[in-house]
Amino acid sequence: MSETTATESRIEAAGVLVVLQASLSLIAGLSAIPFGIVEPGFRVLSVLTILVAVMMFWLARNLRRGRRWAWRWLVLVEVLSLTITVLLALLPIGTIRGPVPVLVNLVMPLAVLVLLATASRHAVPDRR
């Protein structure tokens, strides 16, 4: 497999994982809307979550198109997500319990980061 093909495959795989994350965020945002009827804070959080999901769909699309800024923003978002998860996991509030939260909140962001890193920043064509 040539280096270009391997890089493209990694970008494609990272894009799939980001779209999956965005879809899960979208459902989380939509499902919080009914709670917003009686809980004003969740009105804001649900809209914010839907916006984040839309942003991630957009970043995934632009990553596949070889935009370097999308690569940078995704690294930032995934590092932020991973950091928050690790910090919450350190608290005695049962944030990470079982395989599903481990896969979704730890393994998936880590996998995206590894894929983005190994795709080589310089190999991502810059089509601004």
Contacts of 24 (CB under 8 A, 6+ apart): 104
Name the minimum Å distance from CB 69 to another protein. Answer: 21
The amino acid at residue 108 is M
Q: Is 123 in the site for another protein (CB under 8 A)?
A: no
Q: Which of 6, 82, 104, 123 binds another protein (CB under 8 A)?
A: 104
Q: Which of 50, 49, 64, 68 is nearest to 17 (CA)?
A: 64
CB atoms within 10 A of CB 115: 21
Q: Is 16 in the site for another protein (CB under 8 A)?
A: yes
Q: Is 90 in the site for another protein (CB under 8 A)?
A: no
Q: Which of 65, 76, 111, 113 binds another protein (CB under 8 A)?
A: 111
Name the minimum Å distance from CB 29 to another protein. Answer: 6
Name the minimum Å distance from CB 121 to another protein. Answer: 19
Cα–Cα dist 12/57, whole Å = 13
User: What's the token pair of residue 5?
Assistant: 């093909």
Q: Which of 53, 14, 64 is nearest to 31 (CA)?
A: 53
- What's the first-to-final CA gap in the chain, in angstroms? 27
Q: Is 6 in the site for another protein (CB under 8 A)?
A: no
Residues that bind another protein (CB under 8 A): 12-13, 15-17, 19-20, 22-29, 31-32, 35, 38-42, 44-46, 48-49, 52, 57, 61, 88, 92-95, 97-105, 107, 111, 115
